Structure 1
Amino acid sequence: MFKIGMKLTIETFKNGEVESRFQCRIVDITQNYLCIDYPIDESTGRTSLLLDGSEFTISFVGEDGNVYQFSSEVKGRKKLKIPVLLILIPLKNEIQKIQRREYVRVDVSLDVAIHPQSDQQPLITRTVDISGGGLAVVDDGTARGYKPGDVMDITVVLPFASNHYSYFMAKAELIRFIDGWDQNPAKITYQFINMNDKQRDKIIKYCFEKQLEERRKIK
């Protein structure tokens, strides 16, 4: 079920609510452990060490396209080619299937046009990642005057595997600005709002195709 290179989403909780969400990948698999690279905090773009004993939930996309989740904790750390965290490989009965396909996120660079519902200048840029719930785009510094809570019209060009392009259009709310670091650009995150099932299904289909494409590369 697990493969080297597989993307994992880590969520920590506080008072029953999601406190932080991180992204990481499986670097190595031993008899008992998944070795993951140090997680990246989605809200800050910074690397998190996560202390030994830290508890969290992990979700991932299975080969059937469904999302699965299990509870885990940091059991240790070691140095491979890069520093990694060790988490126990869960038993089969510890893994639950969850209904969150629309939140499966893929890292992809797509053409996107963002038009504020005001007299502000539009932003023509590229996506950093996209999911059925929203997207992140490169902030090239021209989004002056934008602020969290602004509702905007977004158009994204989706290149499907069948060699045809589809234009996806939706309204989205600006959530936050994230500073750039190292080779990672500054970005802006948006959450889709007032989407109908047909719109969301188009994004889910595209994300699923990209997941399959990445899985083939891993193999």
Structure 2
Amino acid sequence: MLPKLNQMLHYQIASSDAEEAAIAYKSRIADELEDGFLIEMPISEKTGRYKRLFLGDELSMYFVSEDGIKNYFDSHVTGFKEDGIRLVKIRKPDPDRIAKVQRRSFLRVGAELDLAVKLSSHVRFVCKTDDVGGGGISFVCDGKWPLEQGQTLECWLLLSYRNGSIEHAPFKGEIVRVAELDIGRKQAMIKFVSINDSERQKIIRYCFEKQLETRNR
């Protein structure tokens, strides 16, 4: 399913600057072409200011269908058109490369990312995630750490994106389950209990890029 004429696209622009890469923009689809879409100039969803795009800019986009599903895809700027207002031409996505995410669920992908965990003022450690998603994560750590179901943790997740930028996503999570692995290791499944929307979006963006990377192999 592709976005339709007059539909609103929401997106972030790939940038080596972490603050710039985190800004959310939106544009209306003004026209559909055989190989792309013409969209209006980007507007910051936070400030309402316009943003100038350049040829080749990479965009991580999504649109919301009538049934509330978010449809994520990658695109890039392929040209411009002056039609009373300046329109931006972007590449039309392959329908098979659009990732669908239900409104009340989140995409989850396998990933080994660095995670800093704080159990208390005296107990802190660093480990690797097993998978990550917009609703929670799981991680594998040394078996010596005292992890229990229902325990609340403070965590800092290190995210690395395809364009080379790096982000930190802090959150508080609750242990849903602890599993004993091989000798000396544990796996903990965590659900987010306190996380800013901007931090959750960083994780969702990482998951989306990871899913597309897997599809292209």
Normalising by structure 2, report the TM-score.
Answer: 0.52
Q: Give the match's secondary structure for 2:99.
A: coil
Count of aligned pairs between the two proteins: 123
For 1:56-71, list aligned pairs within 5 A: 63-67=97-101
Aligned to 2:133: 131
TM-superposed deviation, 1:121: 1.6
CA–CA separation in structure 1 for the residues paired with 2:162 and 2:122: 35
Indicate if the aligned counterparts of 2:158 and 2:169 stay in contact, CA closer than 8 A: yes
Matching residue's letter, 1:209: E
Matched, 1:166 2:167: yes
Matches within 5 A, 1:1-219: 63-67=97-101, 98-100=102-104, 103-116=106-119, 118-144=120-146, 146-180=147-181, 186-217=186-217
Give CA deviations for 1:95-144 in whole Å, capped at 9, x if unaligned. xxx324x521110101111002x345212110000001111101321312
Question: Gaps spanning 5+ residues in structure 1: where?
Answer: 2-60, 68-97
Contact 1:123-1:142 within 8 A present in 2 as well: no
Q: Which amino acid aligns with 2:99?
A: G
Give the partner amino acid of 1:213.
E
Preserved contact between residue 131 and residue 139 of structure 2 (Cα < 8 Å): yes
Instruction: Tell me, in whole angstroms, the C-alpha distance in 2 between the residues paired with 1:200 and 1:171.
Output: 12
1:126 corresponds to which letter in structure 2? K
C-alpha RMSD of matched pairs (Å):
2.4
1:1-60: CA deviations, max 9, x gaps? 9xxxxxxxxxxxxxxxxxxxxxxxxxxxxxxxxxxxxxxxxxxxxxxxxxxxxxxxxxxx
Misfit runs of 4+, over 6 Å: none
* 1:181 Cα deviation from its structure 2 partner: 5.9
Between the aligned partners of 1:63 and 1:178, the Cα distance in structure 2 is: 34
Which one has the largest radius of gyration? 2
Contact 1:105/1:129 (8 A) holds in 2: yes
Q: CA deviation at 1:187?
A: 0.7
- The percentage of counterpart residues that share the same residue type is 31
How does the TM-score come out when normalised to structure 1? 0.51
Structure 2 unaligned regions, length at least 5: 2-71, 73-95
SS in 2 for 1:148: coil
Q: In structure 1, what is the Cα distance between the partners aligned to 2:125 and 2:176?
A: 16
